[in-house]
């Protein structure tokens, strides 16, 4: 199962959740992250936090969500947005791919600490993994994603 985590700059929140999901369930899924206006690099503070929590950081690079469109793109099974992306024209994601919005404060803008955002995303990731999204219908999956986003 391929999970796409979206956030505008793809530099902190989405990078954190990508890393958490990949480390919690490497046999079950692959998480990717992207955004409409990706940063040039992942901030050192984000990388330091991930390393301090024993996450691998080698392949973490901000990327455009355009990389997940078109015939040669990685197929996306679930899309999770972590910020308000309404100012951007989103690409067309595959029909039937469940989508959830888990609004999360931006630690790079001082809206929360990196540690508190990490803990919130870790809690949501663990809740996400308790569900069998692979066999849920779209409506059921969307409802589960909405509930998890409120944690």
Instruction: Tell me the domain boundaries of the chain.
Output: 2-149
At 53 the pLDDT is 96
**Over the stretch 18-45, which tens digit does the pLDDT of each residue have?**
999 999 998 899 999 999 999 999 999 9
How would you list the strands of the sheet with 78-81, edge to edge? 30-34, 2-6, 78-81, 99-101
Mean pLDDT over 101-123 rounds to 97
Contacts of 51 (CB under 8 A, 6+ apart): 57
Question: Domain 2-149, what architecture?
Answer: 3-Layer(aba) Sandwich (3.40)
């Amino acid at each position: 199962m391929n999970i796409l985590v979206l956030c505008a700059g793809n530099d902190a929140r989405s990078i954190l959740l990508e890393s958490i999901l990949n480390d919690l369930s490497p046999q079950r899924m692959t998480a990717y992250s992207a955004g409409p206006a990706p940063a040039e690099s992942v901030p050192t503070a984000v990388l330091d936090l991930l390393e301090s929590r024993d996450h691998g950081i080698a392949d973490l690079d901000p990327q455009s969500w355009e990389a997940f469109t078109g015939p040669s793109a990685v197929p996306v099974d679930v899309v999770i947005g972590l910020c308000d992306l309404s100012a951007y024209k989103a690409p067309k994601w595959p029909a039937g791919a469940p989508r959830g919005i888990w609004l999360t404060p931006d630690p790079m803008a001082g809206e929360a600490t990196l540690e508190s955002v990490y803990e919130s995303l870790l809690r949501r990731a663990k809740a996400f993994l308790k569900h069998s999204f692979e066999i849920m219908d779209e409506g059921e999956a969307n409802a589960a994603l909405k509930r998890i986003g409120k944690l």
